[in-house]
């Protein structure tokens, strides 16, 4: 018998601005990786691995 548990959370309003800013930053990195991968495939016919993308996004956490 499988049992699935669900966790429900309510984020307080004071944390909403911080979480929204963090979501924007993650979205920027995601979009950068998608665009870079697409360009590499289109222009050089080369698929970028996770290691390649990690090297390219290494400095994003400091921005």
Is the CB of residue 57 less than 8 Å from the CB of residue 32?
yes
Q: How confident is the model at residue 10 (pLDDT cuts 50, 70, 90)?
A: confident
For residue 11, pLDDT beyond 80 = no
Residue with tokens 């307080």: 12
What pLDDT is attached to residue 63? 59
For residue 3, pLDDT beyond 70 = yes
Is the CB of residue 53 less than 8 Å from the CB of residue 36?
yes
End-to-end CA distance of the chain: 48
* 49 backbone φψ class: left, alpha, beta (φ>0; ψ -120 to 50): beta
**Residue range 12-60, pLDDT digits in tens:** 788 888 888 999 999 999 999 999 999 999 999 999 999 999 999 888 7
What pLDDT is attached to residue 1? 67
């Amino acid at each position: 018998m499988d049992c699935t548990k669900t966790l429900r959370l309510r984020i307080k309003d004071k944390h909403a601005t911080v979480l929204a800013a963090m979501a924007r930053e993650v979205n920027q990195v995601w979009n950068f990786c998608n665009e870079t991968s697409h360009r590499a495939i289109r222009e050089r016919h080369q698929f970028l691995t996770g290691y390649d993308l990690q090297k390219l996004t290494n400095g994003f956490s400091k921005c």
